[in-house]
Amino acid sequence: MLRRTRTTKKLAKRIDLQYFARPHPFRTWRFWLSVTVPVIALGWFITQRAQGGQKIYSSGQLSRVHAVFTEQCMLCHVTETGAFTAHVTDQACLTCHDAPQHHASQTFTPDCATCHVEHKGAMLLQATVDTACTQCHGQLRTRDGQPHYVTSITGFDNKHPEFAPLRSGKADPGGVRLNHYVHLQPNLMGPNNTRVQMTCDDCHRAAGTGAWPYGTAKVNPVTATEASVGRTKYQAYLPVPEFAKHCASCHTLQFDKRFGNEQVPHDKPEIVRVFLVKRFGEYIAAHPAAVHEVNLPERQIPERPRVPRVARNASEWVQFRVDDAEWLLYAKTCKQCHTLTPTSTSLPEVAKSNLTARWLAHAEFDHHAHRIMSCTTCHTRTPDSRETTDVLLPGIKTCQQCHRTQGPAKEAAEGRCFECHQYHDWTKAKPTKGGLTIQQLRGE
């Protein structure tokens, strides 16, 4: 048997050297595809161009707020020479809206486009990724090298510090005494000897909560606007309590039984004195015989020797009565709520009330967004608080039960930095000078 020998020469002979000249289904396809695809593409391009203008060059749909500018790429993509550039300068954004710097002490300024991502469709432009912040806050540096804040924050549930007012050693700086425990007791003595159960919004009232339940219109005027607001007004922060609106109907400021329920104005001691001198002066003018009455200081005046004082004339009578009234007010009435310090004059000084309206100055909070929750589920310590100095705000653990980025993040409320913080220092914002026409914004 002849052995088959496989040499390269023999093998070469088997190959048909004219193969490319003969038709083959694959090659036919390749030819037609290479002709038709560009033709179709060009056709699509021309029709799109005719119908849809510039958006065919775009790398993706614009965000919801900017979608209206889709025909005018140059509003963002413009160089100084007026040519198209894929890079967008901060200046282009700033012609339409100011966005002030974050902090003067920051060591560099990221471009707008690194945080506000475009061409990704109708997403919320403000929903910036955490890395936009942690690129600095993960290892915070400042120009002067002395950061004032915690320097290594990598996520709300990752090394984010406890809120400043809740760190150890911090106290409520408020200067008005208030015992929450006492006021939240059932059967508290209310106005006109009625028993009441106060609730948080009796003293912490968002605008439009309705008429105050305790007291008369005299000490607690319900303004027309308050009564006519049908829907609870949007209120992120609650206003601080005021004496006239929230205390006066139970804590009255009577000064002398001759005047029944009449009260001194809730004001500085100097003004209270002017009032007292005037009222006693009027009284003695109307009742001249009263000068010779022997007035025993009232039993309710604390720590005062009960020596009868006989006035020699009307002006001395007024002076004695003003003295008595002031003793009552400053040893008892006003002192219940205020710290009073003696001064070089005969009148004490009332400590500043100093009630804080906004506690977390470096973050945003919104009671309205949380209105489905009970007050004490966050302010847990309030019902047992007996001292003004107690800080009653919830700490970070309370928030982290809902606001998270780790763990089952999909079952959480938004936990990224932008939910609670501002980046831009909006206090420095300048108004935008609008000058563009509809035509310039929309294209043909």
Both tokens of residue 69?
């500018």
Neighbours of 175 (CB within 10 A): 15
Going 328 to 330 to 334 to 337, the CA torsion angle's sign is negative
C-alpha closest to that of 275 among 317, 312, 326: 326
Q: Which CB sits closer to ligand HEC, 204 or 309?
A: 204
Spatial CB neighbours of 285, under 8 Å, sequence gap ≥ 6: 314
Least separation, in Å, of the C-beta of 282 and ligand HEC?
A: 19
Angle at 193 between CA 191 and CA 198, to 5 degrees: 55
Give Cα 30 to chain centroid, integer Å.
Answer: 64
Q: Point out which span in 23-31, 220-228, 312-320, 391-399 binds ligand HEC (CB under 6 A).
A: 391-399
Considering only residues 207, 250, 290, 347, which one is a binding residue for ligand HEC as defined by CB under 6 A? 250
**Residue 355, amino acid:** L
Site string for ligand HEC, 337-366 (x = CB under 6 A): xx-----------x-xx-x-xxxxxxxxxx
d(CA 272, CA 265): 6
Q: What is the spatial distance between Cα 209 and Cα 225, in angstroms, rounded to a whole number?
A: 11
CA dist., res. 349 & res. 331, Å (int):
13
Nearer Cβ to ligand HEC (181/320): 181
Among the candidate windows 24-32, 291-299, 309-317, 326-334, which touches ligand HEC by CB under 6 A?
Answer: 326-334
- Point out which span in 30-38, 279-287, 316-324, 422-430 binds ligand HEC (CB under 6 A): 422-430
The residue range among 17-25, 28-36, 303-311, 372-380 that interacts with ligand HEC, by the rule CB under 6 A, is 372-380
The reply to whether 78 sits near ligand HEC by the rule CB under 6 A is: no
Angle at CA 362, nearest 5°, toward 163 and 166? 20
- 101-134 burial: b if 16+ Cβ within 10 Å, else e: eeeeeeeeeeebeebbebeeeeeebeebebebbb
Whole-angstrom distance, CA of residue 62 vs CA of residue 369: 29
Count of C-beta atoms within a 10 Å radius of residue 148:
11
Half-sphere exposure of 367 (CA within 13 A, CB side): 25
Residues 30-69: x where in contact with ligand HEC by CB under 6 A, - otherwise, as a string? ------------------------xx-xxx--x--xx--x
Q: Does residue 334 touch ligand HEC according to CB under 6 A? A: yes
Residue carrying structure tokens 């290594």: 152
**According to CB under 6 A, which one of 78, 178, 311, 322 is a site residue for ligand HEC?**
178
Residues numbered 260 to 299 that lie near ligand HEC (CB under 6 A) are 264, 266-269, 272
Query: Least separation, in Å, of the C-beta of 380 and ligand HEC?
Result: 9
Q: Is 23 exposed, middle or buried (0-12, 13-18, 19+ CB in 10 A)?
A: exposed
Residue 153 or 311 with smaller CB distance to ligand HEC: 153
Considering beta carbons, is residue 111 or 282 the nearer one to ligand HEC?
111
Answer yes or no: are the C-beta atoms of 239 and 367 closer than 8 Å.
Answer: no
Q: C-beta of 227: minimal distance to ligand HEC in Å?
A: 19
CB of 66 to ligand HEC, least distance (A): 4
Nearer to ligand HEC (CB atom), residue 111 or residue 316: 111
Residues between 424 and 443 that touch ligand HEC (CB under 6 A): 424, 441
Judged by CB under 6 A, does residue 106 bind ligand HEC? yes
Q: Tell me which residues in 214-243 interact with ligand HEC (CB under 6 A).
A: 214, 237-238, 241-243
Q: Which of 61, 170, 183, 209 binds ligand HEC (CB under 6 A)?
A: 183
CA distance 188 to 186: 6
Q: Is 110 in the site for ligand HEC (CB under 6 A)?
A: yes
Q: Out of 293, 373, 384, 406, which residue is the one contacting ligand HEC (CB under 6 A)?
A: 373
